[in-house]
Amino acid sequence: MYDLQHLSKLYRKSGETVRALDDLDFKIAPCEFLVLHGASGSGKTTLLLILGGMLTPSCGTVRCNGVDLYASSRADRNRFRRTAAGFIFQQFHLMPYLTAYDNIRVALALRSGHAHGDIHALAERLGIADRLAHRPGELSVGEQQRVAMARTLICEPDIILADEPTGNLDAANRNIIAECLAEEHRRGRTIVLATHEERLLELGTRTLELDQGRIKESLPRP
Ligand SMILES: Nc1ncnc2c1ncn2[C@@H]1O[C@H](COP(=O)(O)OP(=O)(O)OP(=O)(O)O)[C@@H](O)[C@H]1O
Ligand SMILES: [Mg+2]
């Protein structure tokens, strides 16, 4: 699915250069569930943004299904972002003036031009069916994250990129999100999850530990 070669990302920060990713080479197979972990600042978010077509690397190539993401046109990359890859952020980025239902519906409309997904069935699965008429400000943090998750899943992306989706949540909500990601994996999606939570490591088919932008350890899981 993904083939990354000599991937580096440098940021300039107050006159200094930060090497967020340092010459990474690895592949992600279709239907793999890869869990990224490592200390704060090790490069997890940077890597997810690059995989999602949202951040241009400083050097190296990122191929997804044979297509060199950053050599393709901006329009092609936008299409990839809209259709193939779905992002779940720690900050939910919901539209505050729209209801939960409309937040999900807008995502679907933007993706396909017309709404056809079953929002109610998905909301049922995520336990937010009775919250759909509310705006984000009227929802708990856990409910907002589940709406954000629904907004991503309704578009049925082949690849799900999740950046600490349980970071702000209590145990019950964390379990709902974890179970939902596991279910998406069983349905054949490729998942890359960045997390600080030890107990989420076991969700993956492989864990990859980053340390200052380099791979410290890559372990398959049984
Ligand atoms: N836009 C930016 N400009 C400058 N430096 C950045 C930028 N984004 C990230 N960095 C730096 O790049 C490095 C990697 O950051 P990144 O956010 O990818 O780490 P992370 O592993 O996701 O950390 P965390 O676990 O805290 O979310 C850090 O040193 C960070 O300060
Ligand atoms: Mg991060």
40 lines ligand 1 (CB under 6 A): yes
* Contact partners, residue 212, CB within 8 Å, separation at least 6: 19, 22, 41, 42, 43
**Ligand 2 centre distance from Cα of residue 20 (Å):** 11
pTM (2 decimals)?
A: 0.93
* Contact partners, residue 116, CB within 8 Å, separation at least 6: 108
18 lines ligand 1 (CB under 6 A): yes
Name residue 174's amino acid. R
Residue with tokens 């990713």: 21
Closest residue by Cα to residue 104 from 76, 134, 78: 134
Q: Domain 29-42+79-220 class?
A: alpha beta
Domain boundaries, given as residue ranges, for the chain: 29-42+79-220
Which of 42, 195, 212 has most ligand 1 atoms within 8 Å of its beta carbon, as the pocket-test mutant?
42
Which of 7, 8, 16, 18 has most ligand 1 atoms within 8 Å of its beta carbon, as the pocket-test mutant?
18
138-156 pLDDT, tens digit per residue, is: 999 999 999 999 999 998 8
In sequence order, what are the beta bridge partners of 183? none
Q: Once rounded to an integer, what is the mean pLDDT over residues 166-192? A: 92
78-124 pLDDT, tens digit per residue, is: 888 888 899 998 888 899 999 999 999 988 888 765 556 789 999 99
Distances (CA, A) of 91 to 61, 94, 141, 181: 28, 9, 10, 18
> Which secondary structure element, helix H or strand E, spans residue 173, and what is its range?
helix 171-186
Instruction: Give per-residue burial for 132-146: e unless 16+ CB within 10 Å, then b.
Output: bebebeebeebbbbb
